[in-house]
Amino acid sequence: MKRKFITVVIPSIIIASLLSSCTNTSNSTAAKATKVSSLKDQYIKASLPSKNPEKAKNRKDTFIAAISEPGGVFLPYFYDNGWDGNATDPIFPSLVSTDEKGNPIADLAEKWDISSDNLTYTYHLRKRLKFSDGSPLTSDDVAFTLTLLDDPSYSGSFDISTCYIKGSTDYKNGKATSISGIAVVDPLTIKITTEKINPLNLTRLGGQVLSKAYYGKDYKKGNLDYLKSLYSRPLGAGPYKLDKYIPGQEIRYTANENYYKGKPKIENFIFKVTSKDTNLQLFQTGEIDSDSFSTDKDTVDQLENLGFANIRISTVSDYGFVYMNNKKPYLKDKNVRQALIYGLDRQKIVDVAYKGYGEVANVPTSPLVLSYTTDGINSYKFNPEKAKKLLEDDGWRLNSNGIREKNGQKLKISYLTSKNTDQTIPIAKENYKALGIDFEPEIMDFNTLVEKLNKGDYDLAAVRTSGLVDPNDSVEEFSSKKTSENVSGYFNPKVDELISEGVNTLNVKKRKAIYKKLYKELSDDPPVILIDYRKGLKAWNSRIKGMENDNFAGVSSTNLSKLKIEN
């Protein structure tokens, strides 16, 4: 499982690997896409592949896809930057992966068994699995990975405690030298016994696998600092292995001859760092083969007129939002947080940003997720007068300069963003000035923004989620028990209880009912400002074959090996 990664406001690429934490219970509605805006999903096939630019045609053994701002932590479970998740995915496959609709599919594990009480998971690994250095991948490596995540010094975003592995707590607290619920049956079989049901456990327990020989060589319980030296030197069993990382420019990979599906047909793969200002030009000239673009008619027309571009317009399983730092004294009161939502013209932001390809979000999940509902949810339609009243009721009075004050403190709020053309800034400036709020935007690189979020050094911060499949994906961080993930500092005991209930049953109907209650509570006591759902616009060079049937124009470990180049 990967946490809800923090991504930029309009990411260059969201790949299928980010769709995690799903189970069969999550699939009944995953394929029933609720349309964002009145526009239908579209797939536009290249009309004139012969118009391919020479730069692309001459690149016969290299596929170049776009990425935004990787931070260089290329180790699963240890990065905060979601782009690092994208970067590690070609290197590290999972026991159980997911298809483009979120259904679990076999990867390193050829099959699995789940006990009748849904508490014991037995994974059967494929024969002759190898890491890229030729060393064998066995169930010992799986056991090591899970043990590493249960180490008392582990502080990453993967919360293994919610998997409820038997003996996990005793191991972490030093009462046991091993985890009793993890049993290596033989080199190809591992059995994991849990104490409570969690509908996410199939993929959480069956996640990406780390080499015990490589990552465990210097392992000592209680000290994981040694792993930092390996962040830039990853060793995995995926279709590609890292060749070179050039910060701010690109990540280069070469095909892994030891990959269990066989060496990929494309010898070299590159993630090239692009920006909204340059990505269309780079695609037009053939310098990149795949990217995501601003979703608007002009861009669609430009891509279509190229002739060599395959284009997909589809609802993206994510949402954009603005963190509110609930630990700040002036944001602790829900009246102020509600006022910030009522007082912001979110519809205007969506109209400017997506030009008919988006809609205002009012529920913290994707319209594609089974739990999605707006029944009984406050839509927070733009209402400056209501926002003013909420602030007045909370004691914030206008001073002689038109700025609200309370107990001698001015209502001065910073806003962090990593996007130079963030459409929220001019609209929020105007809207919040009218309310008497001193709004101060600050644009910074994405990795600095993530660092400030993790430190709690912000008031407001604009981000997106990664791909969402299970209802829990986007809400678990609002639990006060998730200290490493709860960057908003939100605290609501009722929300804590409902989040826990949501992953303690496999019954889809019951889960829907729980999340309906949860969304209502999160609406009444909002931890964040929800902004938008959107259509995504992806295009790839028609010479790259194998991406046509993938709704996410896939650049993940499960489908990179399927790609080939045909000029």
What are 168-214's pLDDT values in tens digits? Answer: 999 999 999 999 999 999 999 999 999 999 998 999 999 999 999 99
Task: Tell me the pTM.
Answer: 0.80
Report the relative pairing of strands 42-44 and 412-417 from DSSP bridges. unpaired
* Residue 380, pLDDT score: 98
Calculate the CA 344 to chain-centre distance. Answer: 25
Question: For 227, which DSSP code?
Answer: G
Strand ranges across the sheet with 409-410? 397-398, 404-406, 409-410
E strand residue ranges, 404-482? 404-406, 409-410, 412-417, 438-443, 460-464
* Residue 249, pLDDT score: 95
Other Cβ atoms closer than 10 A to 364: 25
Question: What whole-number distance in Å separates Cα of residue 198 and Cα of residue 277?
Answer: 43
Cβ atoms of 268 and 255 within 8 Å: the answer is: yes
- Sign of torsion over alpha carbons 62, 65, 66, 69: negative
Cβ atoms of 484 and 159 within 8 Å: the answer is: yes
Q: pLDDT below 50 — which residues of the chain?
A: 1-34, 552-553
* Three-state DSSP state, 274: coil
Q: Which two tokens stand for residue 538?
A: 């992806």
Closest by CA to 10, choosing from 288, 294, 426, is 294
Question: What whole-number distance in Å separates Cα of residue 35 and Cα of residue 366?
Answer: 11
* Residue 558, pLDDT score: 78
* Residue 225, pLDDT score: 95
* Residue 524, pLDDT score: 97
Give residue for tokens 């290197």: 91
* Residue 41, pLDDT score: 84
Cβ atoms of 567 and 60 within 8 Å: the answer is: yes
**Max Cα–Cα distance, the chain, nearest Å:** 76
What CATH architecture does domain 320-535 belong to?
Roll (3.10)
Domain ranges for the chain: 320-535
Report the relative pairing of strands 404-406 and 42-44 from DSSP bridges. unpaired
